[in-house]
A and B are shown apart, each in its own frame.
Chain A
């Protein structure tokens, strides 16, 4: 994204003073939906795992982080270079200068350049098998040994796992955020205001795409659970695992698949988030606590509750950051989510769409 010429040729104009409160409303609503989309995608997997396996998975944020790093790895693979040393030229510290030649562009020409530019959306194809593998390995290798343990023990072991995964990523990729480029065609802003007849209100294309992507993923997961036989059996297992077992169905295997699906959802959410926030090893932890609040507010084990609460809390958080609100209640933007959680739990102890019996035994 280069600097445009400083000759007054810029196309977009901000209002001179004040601006329209409606513009602010639309922008903050979009910010909230966007934030809510990320919360909903992570909370969706969390609540699915809880509803099926009864496990409180604190490593779920790490799955989001691994997904984000799938995008980093994939874009690095596409930008692999051959390195030759030029003994004639020296670095400022006296070592021979390295000459780097990108391989994919050298082999595939324009198509190679296209692949590099669109590496983020393409890395979803890379992330899905990786996340399936990670999800199954995590469930079979560790989580299954903790099904019958207390929630406190589950939290301790999954939190520990999250720290280990973070440290592995930090050791390999460093602690600094790694910038991942938005495809150039989608790096600008869309005039959302014109679409809805409110004049010019610009919003980044990629954030709109993230919102659309989240809605599609949420729709696919809910459809899978509601409209397929496989999903029906999973739902039956969530209601009464023992009876489903008596019918000769290996419900455990299906729950493992659900865990893998939750991992894939978190992973692709991470992939698509990389152009918005450059990933670092801690990115999953940033979302984890908020996503747990989302799950609790939505109702433990309720998929639609997680989605509803995700969007609701995202929107509230955005509006709370408006200067007009912060001038009345300073610091409200940092506590609004927890305040809402307290109010919801006091008035609706099972959360917005919580089911009877979950976490009550």
Chain B
């Protein structure tokens, strides 16, 4: 009778909710507290410092890398500016050298022109002198010829050729 009642109670209990079986509460609560304490120790002593450290380190590394990249970019820009400056300087320098060379050449050219002009002038002067000489000598020859011819003509016409008179007369005629 008693066992039957116990069995009936057990059956009813099985059919009901194990959640409401208060005899298991102490057991569940004890092991829950143990599990929570263990998880808390794992989380607070091991997991959080480690993961927090890893995340902080990653953040730091990323920030450092970005800073380094910016530094490199700045350097590259400076190098580009320096390059452009050097290029501009070189251009100015080249222009200067070209101008100097031009001036040098011009100077040489001027000197050569002047020298050539002087030579031409000298040659022209000499030629003129020569021409004058030739003209003078030609004139003298003409006077001679005229005097001789006059003397011959006077002789031919039977006169006595006075050399001095003939000469004066010819000179007078030539001037006239």
Q: Do A and B bind each other?
A: no
Residues of B at the A interface (CB closer than 8 Å) are: none
